[in-house]
Amino acid sequence: MWEKISVKDILSINQQFDRGSVVNKGSLEYALKQANQTKSWLKACALLVRAVLIDHVFEEGNKRTAAGIMVAFFEQQQLTYDPELVAKTITDILMKNITSITQIERRITHAIIR
């Protein structure tokens, strides 16, 4: 099981990089609702990463915020991860315009060190 996440949590991650200025509130709220309804931390992470990257939830810092979300989930699950692979995952999702939650989940797992 994983700990539910709030708008405040996501804003806090973005504020590490920018002002936390939300420009796509609907997408963020929808992603949070879906994420908090699933029992899978991986799906929750993928839903939030997708919203931030693809829907550009914030005025600035979307890529860094998406990476921060991944790291937060990894740390909550006590998983070891490679920061370079986190960055590569974010770039991969963006460059290939990946919108499928299942495909995003697969890519997120590539950053985990087993």
Residue 73's pLDDT band, with cuts at 50, 70 and 90, is: very high
What's the one-letter identity of residue 41? W
Judge contact between 107 and 91, C-beta under 8 A: no
Q: Which domains does the chain have, with CATH numbers?
A: 7-109 (1.20.120.1870)
- What average pLDDT does range 26-46 have in this prediction? 98
**pTM of this structure:** 0.96
Query: SS in 3 state form for 91-102?
Result: HHHHHCCCCCHH
Q: CB–CB of 52/19 below 8 Å?
A: no
